[in-house]
Amino acid sequence: MLCKLIGILLVSMTPALASAQDPTREEAAAFIERAEAELLEVWQDSARASWVQATYITEDTELLAAKASEKSTALAVQLAQEAARFRELDLPYDLDRKLRLLRLALTVPAPNNPEDTRELALIETSMESAYGRGKYCPDQETCWDLQVMSKMLVESQDEEHLRTVWKGWRTVSPPMRDDFTRYVELGNKGARELGFDDLGAMWRSQYDMPPDAFAAELDRLWEQVKPLYDSLHAYVRFRLRETYGPEIVPADGPIPAHLLGNMWAQQWGNIYPLVAPADADPGYDLTEQLVAKRTDAEEMVRYGERFFLSLGFEPLPETFWARSLFVQPRDRDVVCHASAWSVDAGDDLRIKMCINITGEDFSTIHHELGHNFYQRAYMDQPTLYRGSANDGFHEAIGDTLALSVTPAYLKQLGLIEQEPEPSKDIGLLLHMALDKIAFLPFGLLVDQWRWRVFSGEVSSAQYNQAWWELREHYQGVVAPVERSEADFDPGAKYHVPASVPYSRYFLAHILQFQFHRALCNEVGYEGPLNRCTIYGSEVAGARLNAMLEMGLSRPWPEALEAMTGETEMDATAILDYFAPLKAWLDEKNEGHPTGW
């Protein structure tokens, strides 16, 4: 579900000479015109090198990707520093916005010297490749990769085996620790050269508000949904206690992370069979239906495309089908983590995903295609506006469509024969909450940890301690085995070694419900929000496209208003969606402690 959207680096092939005189509006306009004209070629080179490195991991492809990244980063830093010359000018909206975006274009800006740029590029490529190649070998004849171990966490209820698998995956990340420490030093140095306090402050500056205000906004949204999470946590804990016993699961403490069906305990949907209400079987299993229809990987993607076609969008280009990666190759290592790509910042759209024929991947494909259709919607914008209103919007769009994967939609596709009775909604809502609601604190804490590392509040000697303090504080989960600073558990999560900011996923989980509620209102739907599907509604598609095609041209509150009529992010749509479940959870939790 969760994915890395490939951002194309904003760089210039021909650095401008700084004027010895005070800069003028005319110079600023000429600078932006030249920069935008030169960006695409370098973007394409970097994106293609990254694609090859991610889909064919070798020492050679790592070096090629690192060299492309090094070149792009060095030039991007130079452009950002040039853009800073014009900060004090009173400029028209577009010029001012594009200059600011140019300063914020790089996720991790290298310091402005060739040695540091080269080192940072090699470190980032090395960490991501180490993750992609990661395997745990319990003996000399057996090695398990992440795909295999993730499946074990789903299928096994042997607590000792689950603990072994959980610990085994975390053997891939300690070798990254020294590289990550150096990466923090270089990233902070580059961010400070651009005028930011540290790299975390730079990341938080990308949301059309001051960095501290953005952090406060995340806290506000979390407080809106925390009561629902607390109720879900309490219910899951006492049900797991029934399965594994009081010696494993405490009555009122954090839940051991290896019991939650996911390598990072970030989504809990895989343990639904252990915690499901006895009478809440919806009468179908989407995975079973897909397998029974002999659905292959390409047809899984075709289902997702047809959803967008039903809203009035144009089909994906033929190159998408020829160039995407849908199946894990047997002859080479690839980064299987699902991602969506616009290789030329235009119509060369692709996804990279090792597709399994499951209900989970069915939804993930809708998510990834949401990125692709968003990318195509804004491709006619000026170069610097080819992005989402904020990165949470990009992540939310696909999941908004996935919320329409309701029984009514599945019946229209012929995947089920009839919709379950409304009384079965509790099971469906619980299953969804185990993924969507359980994810929220994890979506918040990953960047909370990195921001503290970047600011120096957490030193390299405290990486693991701080990580698990946040995991317990926000999620109420703990490691199943003793951890120390010899470990580097944050690095066992893809987005940390791959330099992907994570707050976007938290925002996406808020925004998708706000978007869904607005689109359901647009089509005049009046029933329970969890039963609404916009499949087949060109009215909803037109409202959606009105926001998508804006790209990054306006501040995100204006884009939000174009979709929802609201200018503030609002988590109450989540509460509306899950209201029947919250009442049911509170009833079931009577007599059981809440909190940890």
To the query of whether residue 417 is one of the catalytic residues in this protein, the response is: no
**Nearest alpha carbon to residue 229 among 451, 445, 519:** 445
Q: Residue 325 carries which DSSP code?
A: B
Name the H helices within 56-158. Answer: 59-84, 93-103, 114-133, 146-155
CA–CA dist 250, 256 (Å, integer)? 9
- Cα-based distances in Å from 308 to 35, 251, 380, 404, 544: 34, 46, 19, 11, 11
**Nearest alpha carbon to residue 308 among 403, 373, 363:** 373
> Residues with Cβ < 8 Å from 549, sequence gap 6 or more?
377, 378, 380, 381
To the query of whether residue 505 is one of the catalytic residues in this protein, the response is: yes
Residue 587: which H helix or E strand, with range?
A: helix 579-588
Residue 341: which H helix or E strand, with range?
A: strand 339-342
Q: What is the 3-state secondary structure (H, E, C) of 186-241?
A: HHHHHHHHCCCCCHHHHHHCCCCCCHHHHHHHHHHHHHHHHHHHHHHHHHHHHHHH
CA–CA dist 102, 477 (Å, integer)? 39
CA–CA dist 292, 286 (Å, integer)? 10
CA–CA dist 416, 339 (Å, integer)? 29
To the query of whether residue 337 is one of the catalytic residues in this protein, the response is: yes
- Cα-based distances in Å from 220 to 213, 470, 504, 518, 595: 10, 17, 15, 21, 19
Cβ contact 559:569 at 8 Å: no
Name the H helices within 134-193. Answer: 146-155, 159-169, 177-193
To the query of whether residue 338 is one of the catalytic residues in this protein, the response is: yes
Q: Residues 233, 258, 371, 509: which is the catalytic one?
A: 371
To the query of whether residue 469 is one of the catalytic residues in this protein, the response is: no
Q: Residues 121, 265, 338, 402: which is the catalytic one?
A: 338
Cβ contact 172:136 at 8 Å: yes
Q: Residue 473 carries which DSSP code?
A: I
Cα torsion angle, 332, 338, 343, 348, sign: positive
Q: Residues 367, 394, 431, 509: which is the catalytic one?
A: 367
**Nearest alpha carbon to residue 199 among 453, 459, 494:** 453
Q: Residues 119, 395, 472, 522: which is the catalytic one?
A: 395
Q: Residues 337, 366, 509, 516: which is the catalytic one?
A: 337
CA–CA dist 430, 452 (Å, integer)? 33
CA–CA dist 446, 493 (Å, integer)? 9
Q: Residues 374, 505, 535, 577: which is the catalytic one?
A: 505
To the query of whether residue 525 is one of the catalytic residues in this protein, the response is: no
Q: Is residue 569 helix, strand or coil?
A: coil
- Cα-based distances in Å from 223 to 233, 449, 529: 15, 19, 22
Q: Residues 368, 402, 492, 516: which is the catalytic one?
A: 368
Q: Residues 431, 495, 509, 516: which is the catalytic one?
A: 495
Which are the catalytic amino acids? 337-338, 367-368, 371, 395, 495, 505
